[in-house]
Amino acid sequence: MPDLRHSVTQTLPQLLVTPGFADYRLVDCGEGRKLERFGKLLVDRPEPQAMGLRLKPEAWDKADAVFLGMNAEDEGSDGRWKFAGRPVETFPVSYRGVAFHGRFTPFRHLGFFPEQAPHWDYMIEALQALKRPARVLNLFGYTGVASLLAAKHGAQVTHVDASKKSIGFARENQALAGLADAPIRWIVDDAMKFTAREQRRGSQYDIVLLDPPKYGRGPGGEVWDLFRDLPKMLDLCRAVLTDKPAFVIVTAYAIRASFVAVHELTREVFGELGGDITSGELVVSEEGSGRLLSTSLYSRWSAA
């Protein structure tokens, strides 16, 4: 039985709030949907956490794109986008000087998750504070926004995702961001298998980012189940950390989980390293009203 009586400090619950940025705003939410502005586009899509009343009912009729035909809690089902005008596939987004594509997907997502902005900011500040090249492992890295931000600020990045299509989109974002020569390895692989091989090879990282789905499949048909596999995944991440790591962040988009469960698992795996573990929820602040919309759970272990 692990001894949890160690020097790690704990900060919980902690809400990390995204108030919006130049290319993103939460305009309104309620009745199981959210209305967001991405650049000049107004987008209406499902959001099971939006249980309140809509405060700006007149704004919804002005949406440029509406997602239809999928239960908001069913990430595995396809839906379709209905456009008010000419259909578009991508749209430009920029964050802290890194340009990338937003993208209309058949799973209601838009190619990136704006609520991750506090994690991106924390990573950038940590990289600047290190004052040395850091090695970053980005698991379940999707279309690469975090990887590009890390590389822009001097990190050597290994980006892993099971989807060849997502890696292709990430490479497109790399070119759009003007970071074609940045030290990023794009890997199509099962995250668990890849990290286990890195452990055997003796590869080590200063920073590990994990953004796993509730359920998923690797390129070889491997099955991922968050509740079953996250403990082993975190053990592997612990095994590939350097002797002086900076931090590990795990984000969980799992509605029936609790941030307390993720926090305790993180404490069990990383607590012996000391430092601090901060856990809670990522939330977006609605413009005007300041209402908070919860999007996901997170836990962050940091050395300081």
9-18+113-302 domain in CATH 3.30.230.10?
no
Q: Please check whether residue 93 is in contact with residue 100, taking contact to mean a CB–CB distance below 8 angstroms.
A: yes
- Print pLDDT tens along the chain (304 aa): 455 546 799 998 999 999 999 999 999 999 999 999 999 999 999 999 999 999 999 999 999 999 997 554 444 456 899 999 999 999 999 999 999 999 999 989 999 999 999 999 999 999 999 988 999 999 999 999 999 999 999 999 999 999 999 999 999 999 999 999 999 999 999 999 999 999 999 999 999 999 998 988 888 888 999 999 999 999 999 999 999 999 999 999 866 678 899 999 999 999 999 999 999 999 999 999 999 999 999 999 999 7
**What would be the CATH architecture of the domain defined by 24-103?**
Sandwich (2.60)
pTM of the model: 0.93
Q: Please check whether residue 207 is in contact with residue 182, taking contact to mean a CB–CB distance below 8 angstroms.
A: no
The pLDDT value recorded for residue 179 is: 98
Q: Please check whether residue 184 is in contact with residue 157, taking contact to mean a CB–CB distance below 8 angstroms.
A: yes
The pLDDT value recorded for residue 257 is: 74
The pLDDT value recorded for residue 176 is: 97
Topology agreement, domain 9-18+113-302 and domain 24-103: no
The pLDDT value recorded for residue 107 is: 87
Q: Please check whether residue 64 is in contact with residue 85, taking contact to mean a CB–CB distance below 8 angstroms.
A: yes
The pLDDT value recorded for residue 72 is: 47
The pLDDT value recorded for residue 71 is: 56
Domain ranges of the chain: 9-18+113-302, 24-103
